[in-house]
Amino acid sequence: MKKLAGGAALASVITTTSAAHAGEAVADLVEEVAPSVVTILAERSLKEVSANGNELRSPDNRSFDEFFRRFGAPENFSDRSNRGAPSLALGSGFILEQDGLIVTNHHVIDDANEITVLLHDGREFDAVVVGQDPQTDLALLSIKAGEPLPFVQLGDSDDIRVGEDVVAVGNPFGLGGTVTTGIISAKGRNIGSGPYAEFLQTDAAINKGNSGGPLFDMEGNVVGVNSAIFSPTGGSVGIGFAVTSNIVDLIVDDLRDDGAVDRGWLGVSIQTMSPEVAAAIGIEDRKGALVSGVVAEGPSDGTIEIGDVIVAFNGEKVSDSNDLPRLVAAAEAGETSNLLVIRDGAEKALKIEVGQHESATLAQPPEETEKASARMLGVTVAPLTETARSDIGLDDDATGVVVTSLAPNGPAARSGLLVGDVIVKFGEEKISTPDTLKKALQKEDGDPALVLLNRRGHQIFVAVELA
């Protein structure tokens, strides 16, 4: 018993000593990097009062997503009763180069009339926006301090491991110079903010005002830019998200060059394969991005085919549909890229000249027209008229039939079809009329059947188990 007691005492000493050393390591790190962390003050003009008497504020109250809250920009420190007075949003940032180049979040400075940067030593400088990218929620600012400034470097976010210690430094709730610690909780998070951003998840406490601030590894390198939290209360509950430093590196290079981000474009619609879709295609390995549509006269037209599974882009593996947009976006328009696809069960190497990305818009679902029943599928469909094409936002030469109703427990509803979807192909058969869909249903012998849909201008595959 004495031996056990002595061992426990020794373990306690070791644990206490290790904790002390860890605390010293964090303190040393903070002393080194804190001078490079800045506070961002973004001044906006409040909108005029609307006709119904409700004050319309600038978009600093927009949510990051239905389930996520931004922090930083939503903090409004003006007297809201004073209509027309400016609102002041507070966020964070960090100096990336000694000449005054500063990284922060796009939503911190979006629509700001004036931007002020407050340094660690209390000095204030007017900032100029070098460029900003809403797609990744990043912005690049510049200040003229007249002397070299302390700066930090970007680390490699691919190298950091889940469980590693991290330190967040920023300006939560206007309390500048606040330090919190935690670990990397997860990597490769997609939080519904768009296809071009990738996030690290951390349990380091970050709150409103931390937006745009750095997340450091224990070597003092920035591995992420704190950008969003999941919170039912608005405060930190230990689930925060930071844009990865590798994404930041790419975006900063582009913004520094000409103030804008140029993204490559393949001109395809893709989706991640579900087990059912993978089985319908006949691919055991679900890795890759399934091509569900090819833009006419786009970069991939005539080279990539609908049904191809893209498994590599320029030597980088494509595990799912989240990987490909970031890889393609990083490619320069006009350069020839190498793709590896699986087509008809065999690997095929392709070369494609990447195009310049352009944004697309979605249209509203169509109104119902003449109905025709497709009983085995559990849907009611209608011909794709000119009016329906216009309402959905489809090209004039688009083909298929419009889903106008769904049996609540039918095969189509269980597989995720929606009213307004256009059935383009059923199995191997192209669908042009309700009658061709009926005939395709009678001929189909696969279960599940692979169905190609056009959903508001975007094509996706769905696997349907027939009744």
Grouping H, G, I as helix, E, B as strand and the rest as coil, residue 39 is strand
Average pLDDT in the 72-88 region? 46
- Residue 436 carries which side chain, given as an amino acid letter? T
Statement to judge: residues 140 and 184 lie in one domain: yes
- Confidence (pLDDT) at 272: 79
Give a yes or no: residue 11 inside a domain: no
- From the candidates 106, 107, 120, 357, which is the catalytic residue? 107
Strands (E), 134-278: 138-142, 165-170, 178-189, 199-202, 214-216, 222-229, 240-244, 264-265, 268-272
Structural domain total, the chain: 3
Cα separation, 320 vs 274, in Å, equals 10
Q: Are residues 145 and 278 in the same domain?
A: no
Question: Is there a domain that residue 297 lies in?
Answer: yes
Residue bearing the bigger pLDDT, 79 or 456: 456
- Taking the C-alpha atoms of residue 324 and residue 267, their distance in angstroms, rounded to an integer, is 12
Mean pLDDT comparison of 108-122, 167-181, 386-400, highest-scoring range: 108-122
Asked whether residue 118 falls in the same domain as residue 40, the answer is yes
Encode pLDDT of 201-215 as tens digits. Answer: 999 988 888 889 999
Active-site position among 60, 110, 137, 217? 137
Task: Supply φ then ψ for residue 58, to 5 degrees.
Answer: -65, 160
State which residues form the domain around 344: 264-356
Among residues 396, 398, 400, the alpha carbon closest in space to that of 372 is found at 400
In angstroms, the CA 362 to CA 299 distance is 21
| Whether residues 92 and 197 fall in one domain | yes
Among 146-155, 262-271, 339-348, which is the least confidently predicted range?
262-271
Q: Indicate if the pLDDT at residue 63 is higher than 50.
A: no
Above 80 in pLDDT, residue 300?
yes
Of 220, 245, 261, which marks where a domain is finished?
Answer: 261
CA distances from 356 to 15, 292, 332 (A): 56, 20, 8
Beta pairing, strands 101-104 & 138-142: antiparallel
Residue 279, domain member (yes or no):
yes
Q: Same structural domain for residues 148 and 294?
A: no
Digit-coded pLDDT (tens) for 308-351:
999 999 999 998 888 888 889 888 888 899 999 999 888 899 99
Domain boundary among 261, 282, 316: 261
| In-domain check, residue 367 | no
**234-252 pLDDT, tens digit each:** 666 788 899 999 999 989 9
Q: How confident is the model at residue 454 (pLDDT cuts 50, 70, 90)?
A: confident
Burial 260-277 (b: 16+ CB within 10 A, else e): ebebbbbbbbbbbbbebb
3-state secondary structure at position 189: strand
Same domain, 210 and 297: no
Mean pLDDT calculated for residue range 36-50: 72
DSSP tally for the chain: helices H, then strands E = 8, 28
Q: Is the pLDDT of residue 183 over 50?
A: yes
Q: Let me know whether 90 and 192 are in one domain.
A: yes
379 near 417, Cβ under 8 Å? yes
- Decide if pLDDT at 184 tops 90: yes
Q: Give yes or no: residues 402 and 437 share one domain.
A: yes
CB 432 within 8 A of CB 425: no
Is 365 a residue whose pLDDT tops 90? Answer: no
Contacts of 230-235 with C-beta under 8 Å, sequence gap 24+, read: 230/67, 230/68, 230/69, 230/191, 231/69, 234/69, 234/208, 235/207
- Is there a domain that residue 218 lies in? yes
What CATH number does residue 410 fall under? 2.30.42.10
Residue 429 and residue 381 share a domain: yes
Domain end marker among 208, 242, 261: 261
Same domain, 117 and 255: yes
- Is position 208 within any domain? yes
Q: Is 58 a catalytic residue?
A: no
- pLDDT over 60 (residue 80): no
* 217 has pLDDT over 90: yes
| Residue 70 pLDDT grade (very low, low, confident, very high; cuts 50, 70, 90) | very low
Spatial contact of 91 and 77, defined as CB atoms under 8 Å apart: no
pLDDT of residue 216 exceeding 90, the answer is yes
Residue pLDDT, tens place only, 418-450: 878 899 998 888 898 887 888 888 777 767 888
**CATH code of 93's domain:** 2.40.10.120
And the tokens for 327?
């890889």
Query: Are 160 and 301 in a shared domain?
Result: no
Choose, from 36, 58, 87, 211, the residue flagged as catalytic.
211
Shared domain for 286 and 214, answered yes or no, is no
- Poorest-confidence range of 217-221, 263-267, 285-289, 385-389? 385-389
Under a CB-based contact definition with an 8 Å cutoff, are residues 371 and 382 in contact?
Answer: yes
Q: Is 205 a member of any domain?
A: yes
Catalytic, 65? Answer no
Res 368 pLDDT > 50: no
Taking the CB of residue 208, how many other CB atoms lie within 10 A of it? 24
**pLDDT at position 46, please?**
54
Of residues 104 and 330, more confidence is placed in: 104
Q: Is residue 363 part of a domain?
A: no
Query: Which of the four pLDDT bands, split at 50, 70 and 90, describes residue 68?
Result: very low
Interval 153-162 mean pLDDT: 94
In this predicted structure, the answer to whether residue 292 has a pLDDT above a threshold of 90 is: no
Q: Is 301 a catalytic residue?
A: no
Q: pLDDT > 70: what percent of the chain?
A: 78
Asked whether residue 362 carries a pLDDT value surpassing 90, the answer given is no
Sequence-separated (6 or more) residues with CB below 8 Å from residue 286:
272, 273, 274, 275, 278
Per-residue pLDDT at 385: 75
Across the chain, mean pLDDT equals 78
Q: What is the mean pLDDT of the segment spanning 3-26? A: 56
